[in-house]
Amino acid sequence: MLSPGCVFPPLGCTVGVCAADFFSFRVMIEPSCSGDGFRQVAPKAVNGRVAPCWSVLQLACRKLECARQGRPIVLLDPRVPLAAPRMGALGWAHGVPLSARHAVEPPMDEVEPRGPEDAPVRVVSLLPSATEIVCALGAERTLVGISHECDHPETIRGLPVLTRSRVSASGTSLAIDTAVRAVVRDALSIYTVDEAQLAALSPEVIVTQDLCEVCAVSLDDVRSAVARLAHRDAVRIVSLTPTCLDDILADVETVAAALHLHAQGHALRRALAARLDAIAQRAATAPTRPRVVSVEWLEPIMLGGLWMPELIAHAGGVAAGARAAQPAPTVTPEDLARLDPEVVLIKPCGFTLERTLEERGLIARAIQASVSPRARVYVTDGNAYFNRPGPRIVESLEILAACVHPELFDDLARKHAAVIHPLDAPR
């Protein structure tokens, strides 16, 4: 709480408003751009509550001034550089009393105002891409649980893990495919949910998917687990089903809405779309549009469907063998030969670059031997990129553009050199 003699807090202090209808907020002070003064930046969340908007903050301070018999509370305009602060007997003091200043509106990037019913929610994300969306929205602190596949950003890796797979990922591509088909044939779920842990975490929002029962926990499994929770009526299930780039961008706003972060969701969507468009515009200047095949699985060979054909088009290529917004087709080596691709991008779902290269012999026999020796073949990280319909879909396009048109995107080739591995033609 504000002490009776305090005019303004030191840097980064927490300020409390005495009035019963206001709540705690934090005011951060940082040097101005000119270096000769200080300015206030947007109030931040404290103790799980979100700062009021600028006008509410002003009103709160006015009420506190009245409660303190007119002794001024100084509220500084965050857009106006100030002269150097001065220390006085009452503490850190500078500026004009609020009552003597005109009302100002908050900067555009201020924290979105929210009502008391919109306090930060407890979120469980059972989908790696959804976890990345939550974090990209600046809401990582709302996460209380994740899936066993959620690994980015690294700061979330200590959170409770709520799922596991019945299928071991240590076998070959063929062994994994065979095991998955056996589980599905026996009408079992590939993934299990730790219901005891879920109940203990008491989430208010659970983000999952309804696109692929092989990729992550199914919507039916999540519904079944939630139905057994004591607070099931208070749980909101947000299911994502992206099949194209527009769906991926829309899911950003869907997740944001569930977290009451509408403005942040809209801003993130616009930023991601702008980056995608910028790459597409560069690629449009290329003199050729090579035929491109993206490989989603090694044995059997599956080609990248859903948003992959769109990514290929954005990168300045023509998708061969797959159609946008359609599931991944399975092909034979003979089918692959008939497609006659000029560029092949190998990025199996769930496989890192290193894991894919463990099956280098299979790649040489089944894929490289089926395409022209002149075809450029690349291996990249299908776990971190491409198969995660979240914010890093932009980095996925950057990697793809660097492979399709290396002469045009040499900057992106350098940026992602660690995850772009060209393969020499087999001898």
The residue with tokens 């996925």 is 396
d(CA 78, CA 32): 9
Q: Alpha helix (H) ranges present in 99-172?
A: 128-136
Nearest to 139 by CA among 391, 393, 384: 391
Q: Which amino acid is at 150?
A: C
In DSSP notation, 269-335 reads: HHHHHHHHHHHHHHHTT-S---EEEEEEETTTEEE--TTHHHHHHHTT-EE-S--TTSPPPEE-HHH
Q: Cα angle at 269 between 267 and 272, to 5 degrees? A: 110
Helices 245-258 and 262-283: angle between axes, nearest 10 degrees: 160
**In this predicted structure, what is the pLDDT of residue 416?**
98
How does strand 38-40 pair with strand 86-88? unpaired
Q: What sign for the dihedral angle of Cα 304, 308, 314, 320?
A: positive
The structural domains of the chain, with segments of one domain joined by +, span 14-100, 120-241, 287-423
**In this predicted structure, what is the pLDDT of residue 427?**
61
Which residues lie below 8 Å from residue 236, measured CB to CB, with a gap of 6+? 204, 205, 206, 258
Task: Give pLDDT tens digits along the chain (427 positions).
Answer: 333 333 333 333 333 332 222 333 333 333 333 333 333 333 433 333 334 443 444 444 444 444 434 444 444 433 333 333 333 322 222 333 333 222 323 333 333 444 434 556 899 999 999 999 999 999 999 999 999 999 999 999 999 999 999 998 889 999 999 999 999 888 788 999 999 999 999 999 999 998 887 888 989 999 999 999 999 999 999 999 999 999 999 999 999 999 999 999 999 999 999 999 999 999 999 999 999 999 999 999 999 999 999 999 999 999 999 999 999 999 999 999 999 999 999 999 999 999 999 999 999 999 999 999 999 999 999 999 999 999 999 999 999 999 999 999 999 999 999 999 999 977 6
Q: What is the pTM of this model?
A: 0.74
The residue with tokens 């007997």 is 89
Does domain 287-423 sit in CATH 3.40.50.1980?
A: yes
Taking a C-beta distance cutoff of 8 angstroms, is the pair 222, 253 a contact? Answer: no
Extract the tokens encoding 353.
Answer: 């670059």
Which DSSP state fits 268? H
Radius of gyration of the chain (CA): 27
- Cross-strand bridge partners of residue 160: none
**In this predicted structure, what is the pLDDT of residue 99?**
32
Topology alike, domains 120-241 and 287-423: yes
**In this predicted structure, what is the pLDDT of residue 118?**
54
Q: Which amino acid is at 26?
A: R
Write the CA distances from 357 to 4, 128, 368, integer angstroms: 67, 23, 13
Per-residue buried b or exposed e for 282-294, using 16+ beta carbons within 10 Å of the residue's own CB:
bbeebeebbbbbb
How does strand 25-26 pair with strand 14-15? antiparallel
The CATH architecture to which 120-241 belongs is 3-Layer(aba) Sandwich (3.40)
Secondary structure class of 248 (helix, strand, coil): helix
